[in-house]
A = this chain, B = another copy of it.
Amino acid sequence: MSVFTDLNGVFANGVSAGIKASGDKDLAYIYVPDAVGSAGVFTQNHCAASCVTHSRSSMKKNVVKAVIVNAGNANCYTGKQGEKDTKTMAKAAAKALGLRAAEVAVASTGIIGKNLPIDAIETAIGELCTGEDKDANAAAQAILTVDLLEKLVYKARKIGKKEIVVAGISKGSGMIAPNMATTLTFLVTNATLTNDQCYSFLKKAIDDSLNMVTLDTDTSTNDMVLLFSTGEKKFSLTNKDETDMFQDLMNDACVDLAKQMARDGEGASKLIEVTVKGAASKKDARIISKNIVGSPLVKTAVTAASANWGRLVMAIGKEPNVKVNPNKLTISVGSVVLVRDGVPLDYDPKEAEKEMSSETVCITADLNLNSYEATAWGCDLTNEFIRINAEYN
């Protein structure tokens, strides 16, 4: 399978710098020396970490050409020392790669409120950032916290006569109910894009993918999604067909990562995909699909493989500021229609249970009001969620 470092001019690697007690990899870099455009979308949490402030500001003023990432410690709510440590990370990576510090984004993830072992990290950055590595898997591993699986994506499509690629890595698992950004995700494309173009494509893709993942209603202090353009391939940004195709490619890549993230939610045994159709507005469709996939009572019904459509009705109706007519609802799980036009059907409970036992449980609610739709992703709620979160301190 192709990985993001297969692109020309994209380098990455990951090592252990001793931040995680386990000794697992915890420090990664991605380096795009000839980047022509870059952009980031960041958490809106008021208590955002200093790496968010640094990276947001760098992205505004520069074409950013690298990101240095540590896992195991979020370097959040760590005061002046934390701010200084973020700068030290940027500077150390810049020095090793021959860049200015403002051309290096910094991302941290892990526990809040503890200072980084910055000396060890500074030394490790010097050794790690050779600028010549192509180890996408090591980078993907090093950015994880309680995730069980590495998350990589590689999507290619012919646009005009060029083979255009969007590829990257994510970490997810906890504190996932994004608001204009989600978790750590790093993407590269070989398409030639300016900073503004990067931002515009990225923002739209995220709205329909990473921003539609709701695992636990919490929003991380350290979320960021970055996109780098290598500038290798030009396509016509004035041709609407071609820009639409590129947007689709970006969306594809982000939806793929969103689903990987939801499936690997803390303690998850199943991926839940909820599509709301026929909504009065796009906003309504988004709100309702996220309310369904985020409802603890729906999540535990999925855990139990119970086609409890009563809980779906409750979750569809729970937000007063959207349009819902209970008498028009059609609700299905997989291919089994549970409720049609507001009337509960006499469905086969075994068939319904089979759909609810699937690795991916697909719930569809048609509001039958208008033509807007949205899809949200989440996971079931298991004892494992509680074990992980009671133990991870």
Hey, which bits of chain A sit against chain B, CB under 8 A? 44-48, 74, 76-77, 79, 111-113, 174-175, 179-180, 216-221, 294-297, 300-301, 303-304, 306, 308-311, 313-318, 320, 322, 324-326, 329, 339, 342-344, 381-383, 385-386, 389-391, 393
Contact of A113 among B76, B303, B313 (CB under 8 A): B313
Given contacts A217-B294, A381-B389, 16 further A-B contacts (CB under 8 A): A46-B318, A46-B324, A48-B317, A76-B310, A77-B344, A111-B310, A112-B310, A112-B314, A113-B309, A174-B297, A179-B320, A218-B314, A221-B314, A301-B389, A304-B389, A383-B383
Chain B: CB-nearest residue to A174: B297
Chain B residues with CB below 8 A from A306, complex form:
390, 393
Chain B residues with CB below 8 A from A325, complex form:
46
Inter-chain CA distance A211–B229, complex, in Å, is 49
Chain B residues with CB below 8 A from A47, complex form:
313-314, 316-317, 324, 326, 329
Contact of A303 among B311, B343, B390 (CB under 8 A): B390
B389 touches A314 (CB 8 A): no
B76 touches A313 (CB 8 A): yes
Contact of A390 among B300, B316, B390 (CB under 8 A): B300
Contact of A326 among B46, B74, B179 (CB under 8 A): B46
Inter-chain CA distance A344–B316, complex, in Å, is 41
A393 with B308: in contact, given A342-B79, A344-B77 (CB under 8 Å)?
yes
